[in-house]
Structure 1
Amino acid sequence: MDVFQAMRVFARVVDSGSFTAAAQVLDLSTAQVSRLVSELESHLQARLLQRTTRRLRLTEVGSRYLERCRQILNEIEDANAEASGAHLMPRGRLKVHSITGLGTQLLAPLAARYCELFPEVHIDMTLSQFHPDLIDDGQDVVFTMARELPDSELVAQLLGCNYSVLCAAPSYLEQWGIPHTLDDLAEHRCLRLIDPVFGDSWTFNDNGVERAISLGETFQVNVAEAMAQAAAAGMGICLLPDLVAAKAFQQGKLVRVLVEHRLHERGVYALYPSRRFLDAKVRTWVEFLKEQIPQAFANNRAVVENPAYWA
């Protein structure tokens, strides 16, 4: 027996005053309506209606049960309306996960602007260098960087591409000199940024030949912003994603070296479970970022490719 359907029929019988009138409203036969009410009473082991050939009367139990039925049915209607409208009106909590650099440099500032546009959405953002399981961890959208994505059933929206550049503090270069070739790096302290995609490798394309540079043991860290601070303090030469490097260049903390080389090119993706019945908060968040992030990347690229910020 469908208990909720039986509850609806019971409430309609009381409101209509008879089985026949309720049947007409519900587009059921009178026999079906009578059977559903009887099955509900059997299920509850309680009599809800006193019946005669001319009238119906609620029992005391039936009166109390009717009140609770109305509360439950109203809650169900509200829940259905909210769920069916979720694809129309952005509202509720939006759970977002991002790798740290992307989140701090881009997503957090953009989240503030998004929430001004959609004030009924509350963003819950988690930042880490590890990629969560989108479904098991209950995330709505996961942002990641990758050379290429593995096959999966997730929807992947490409938001843009970025790359990494070699940087150093002006004070470090004044003391140790400016490297002009890859061979010169052997005379410098090269710092290790543990990248979630590429590890700590520095592999260059040197006239069509891949060439890996051995890094020292001076300093290593797994967050680009921390590496930028260490390099700004004069610890050595580092490799930074353009979105982190651009800010340090504009602040005068770092400059770019070996500008003919750029490494670790990868795409930035928004991942979410399905396009089908896509929640409005997910749809509008991704659409908003598809408009904003390419311009942000272009702005960063204009800085790192500007000779004014080169050593």
Structure 2
Amino acid sequence: MDKLSNMLVFVKVVEMGSFTAVANHLDSTVGNISRAVSALEQMLDTRLLQRSTRRLSVTDAGRRFYDRCTVILADLENAEAEARNALLEPRGTLRVHCVPSLGRHLVTSAVLEYRQAFPEVTVDLMLSQQMPNLLEDQLDVSILIARALPDSAYVSQKIGVSHCVLVASPDYLARHAPPQEPQDLQEHQCLRLGTVDYARDEWQLTHQDGQATFIHAGPGFSVNDMEAMAVAVRSGAGIGLLAGFSAIDDLHSGALVRVLPEYHTQERNVFVVYSSRQFLDAKITRFIDTLKARVGDQLAATAQALVGN
């Protein structure tokens, strides 16, 4: 028996006053119960029980050890209960990574909705373009946009798709004739987006009939952040790519205008990534459910409005 098991046996012996009673209670043998107590006495180099053929009595050292054991075993039981409850009730701190544009437009509101439903969870949201190391960075969840994820030991679920569309400000289009074909973009100021999943100098556009077109964006302004791109486009600097979820409000308000509306980029998948499928904490499973319901539905509605699929 290990130390904790021996401690549990000793506590039961003190409380029940008999090796035989404890053996029956634990479905064991009197010999096993006696050896458990003897092992503790040898480890502590002190006598815990006085034994006779008629009765057991607890020594002073045994009484002090019993008091300590009951506290330790109660703490252990509470810790086990808390760990089991973590699989049932969301609580604690949830550390989430998300790519910045998606985080600002959709995920932050999903986090706030999640916090209303589960106020015992504190959410720490980190926005970064780079895919983190979940274990080294002590993160519970990462939300990424990519055509496909690299091979890893992580678990992932797809919660939606995202497309980029070409947009410009009304002011820019008032000064420059809107392009009618992708090749006409060569005559415009093309604002280049360069991220992990977008080549800075080349736009791959997909027509609504499925045909792909490659356009060289040419020199000029380039940026690796979707929100900075939105600022440049709104200011009238040129035509740029924006994710549908980032552009749709400005398109509805008229602050931006769709350029070549029958074209969009290839779809990118939106993934939620976490480290393990086994014994998944309730705070993570409920958060994934919230992402699917909130972010997934908004992505689907945006794709339907802008791309038609």
TM-score under structure 1 length normalisation:
0.90
Q: Which residue of 1 aligns with 2:242?
A: 240
Shift of 1:37: 0.8
Alignment of structure 1 residues 187-266 onto 2, 5 Å: 187-200=187-200, 201-205=202-206, 208=211, 210-218=213-221, 220-266=222-268
Q: Which residue of 2 aligns with 1:184?
A: 184
The answer to whether the 8 Å contact 2:96/2:140 transfers is yes
Q: Which residue of 1 aligns with 2:273?
A: 271
Distance (Å, rounded) in 2 between the aligned partners of 1:32 and 1:301: 68
Distance (Å, rounded) in 1 between the aligned partners of 2:281 and 2:152: 20
Aligned length: 305
Q: Residues 91 and 174 (structure 1 numbering): CA distance in 2 closer, same or farther, change over 3 Å?
A: same
Percentage identity across aligned positions? 42
Q: Which amino acid aligns with 2:58?
A: L
Shift of 1:159: 0.7
Distance (Å, rounded) in 2 between the aligned partners of 1:47 and 1:104: 66
1:71-108 per-position Cα deviation (integer Å, ceiling 9, x unaligned): 21111111212222332222222222111111111111
Distance (Å, rounded) in 2 between the aligned partners of 1:261 and 1:236: 17
TM-score under structure 2 length normalisation:
0.90
The answer to whether the 8 Å contact 2:95/2:141 transfers is yes
Q: Which residue of 2 aligns with 1:309?
A: none
Shift of 1:130: 0.4
Shift of 1:212: 2.8
The answer to whether the 8 Å contact 1:95/1:141 transfers is yes
Choose 163-172 or 283-292, whichever is displaced more. Answer: 283-292
Q: Which residue of 2 aligns with 1:23?
A: 23
Q: Which amino acid aligns with 2:216?
A: I
Shift of 1:208: 4.1
Distance (Å, rounded) in 1 between the aligned partners of 2:286 and 2:82: 17
Q: Which amino acid aligns with 1:203?
A: Q
1:40-63 per-position Cα deviation (integer Å, ceiling 9, x unaligned): 111122222233333333333322
Q: Secondary structure at the match of 1:202?
A: strand
Q: Which residue of 2 aligns with 1:166?
A: 166
The answer to whether the 8 Å contact 2:165/2:242 transfers is yes
The answer to whether the 8 Å contact 1:243/1:297 transfers is yes
Choose 272-281 or 206-215, whichever is displaced more. Answer: 206-215
Q: Which residue of 2 aligns with 1:115?
A: 115
Q: Which amino acid aligns with 1:14?
A: V
The answer to whether the 8 Å contact 2:103/2:127 transfers is yes
Distance (Å, rounded) in 1 between the aligned partners of 2:253 and 2:212: 35
Distance (Å, rounded) in 1 between the aligned partners of 2:45 and 2:254: 80
Shift of 1:179: 2.1
Q: CA RMSD in A?
A: 2.2
Distance (Å, rounded) in 2 between the aligned partners of 1:53 and 1:125: 66
Q: Residues 209 and 36 (structure 1 numbering): CA distance in 2 closer, same or farther, change over 3 Å?
A: closer
1:271-298 per-position Cα deviation (integer Å, ceiling 9, x unaligned): 2233332222222221222222232113
1:209-228 per-position Cα deviation (integer Å, ceiling 9, x unaligned): 6423233232x222211211
Q: Which amino acid aligns with 1:38?
A: S
Q: Which residue of 2 aligns with 1:156?
A: 156
Q: Which residue of 1 aligns with 2:291?
A: 289
1:122-172 per-position Cα deviation (integer Å, ceiling 9, x unaligned): 222211000012233222221111212333343221111110001111112
Shift of 1:205: 4.7
Shift of 1:251: 4.1
The answer to whether the 8 Å contact 2:169/2:235 transfers is yes
1:208-254 per-position Cα deviation (integer Å, ceiling 9, x unaligned): 46423233232x22221121112111222110111101122234322
Q: Secondary structure at the match of 1:215?
A: coil
Distance (Å, rounded) in 2 between the aligned partners of 1:174 and 1:205: 26
The answer to whether the 8 Å contact 1:156/1:269 transfers is yes
1:153-207 per-position Cα deviation (integer Å, ceiling 9, x unaligned): 4322111111000111111222233222223222222112222212323123579
The answer to whether the 8 Å contact 1:228/1:248 transfers is no
Choose 200-209 or 137-146, whichever is displaced more. Answer: 200-209
Q: Secondary structure at the match of 2:86?
A: coil
